[in-house]
Structure 1
């Protein structure tokens, strides 16, 4: 399952799942280098999906460039 870090609140990361459901995961269970906007692989272990994260960031960059043209 994939999820995107929406924000951090206290000891939790607020994650939006692919189905738009919002869940809270304890910060201690996600990689310490994770930041807002990172795409996570959520399963037995939680890891940052570097390929999806980079793809998403580039897509957002292109959209914002188009917005300001």
Structure 2
């Protein structure tokens, strides 16, 4: 998803979503970005799946000890 930084308000970047609504995003998530910049937000399924496998293995280890 591509969002556009509309403006900054304190510690937040006000970003415009594709449907033209706006939401506040912590400014620390977009270091160096400025008004009008386009930011891409994407889900990394492979990383998520790997993380879930590791957590599941850790939980199995804890519960089986």
Task: Give the TM-score normalised by the residue count of structure 2.
Answer: 0.61
After superposing on structure 2, the runs of 4+ consecutive aligned residues of structure 1 that deviate more than 6 Å are none
CA RMSD of aligned residues (A): 1.6
In terms of fraction of residues, the more strand-rich structure is: 1
Aligned residue pairs total 44
In terms of fraction of residues, the more helix-rich structure is: 2
Q: Which runs of 5+ in 2 are unaligned?
A: 45-65
If you compute each CA radius of gyration, which structure gives the higher value, 1 or 2? 2
Q: 1:26 to 1:15 in 2, by over 3 A?
A: same
CA-CA distance at 1:42 after TM superposition: 1.6
Question: With CA pairs under 8 Å and 6+ residues apart, which has the higher RCO, 1 or 2?
Answer: 2
| Residue aligning to 2:36 | 37
CA-CA distance at 1:27 after TM superposition: 0.5
Looking at structure 2, the residues matched to 7 and 35 of structure 1 have their Cα atoms a distance apart, in angstroms, of 8
Task: Give the TM-score normalised by the residue count of structure 1.
Answer: 0.58
Looking at structure 1, the residues matched to 25 and 43 of structure 2 have their Cα atoms a distance apart, in angstroms, of 13
